[in-house]
Amino acid sequence: MTALTIRLPDSVHRKIKELAARDGISVNQFIASATAEKMASFLALDYLRTEAAQGKRADFLSVLDAVPDAPPQPGDER
């Protein structure tokens, strides 16, 4: 495990301490968890952008063309 020193505004540190205590975890656990959540969101966006870049509009339109032209089912109206 790596030790890391960071500078936080006092107000942020106080709020982290408060939220960690409310959740019954240490400040270190809170920061590690928050960091992991932020990292996961970045990685998810990277993945989605990569997948989207591989899409082809012609393929999308061909799938849409296969959808029958029918009125929406009750409850699905706009």
- Residue 54, C-beta contacts closer than 8 angstroms, at least 6 positions apart: none
Per-residue pLDDT of the chain (78 residues; tens, 9 = 90+): 899 999 999 999 999 999 999 999 999 999 999 999 999 999 999 999 999 999 999 999 999 999 999 999 999 988
3-state secondary structure (DSSP) of residue 10: helix
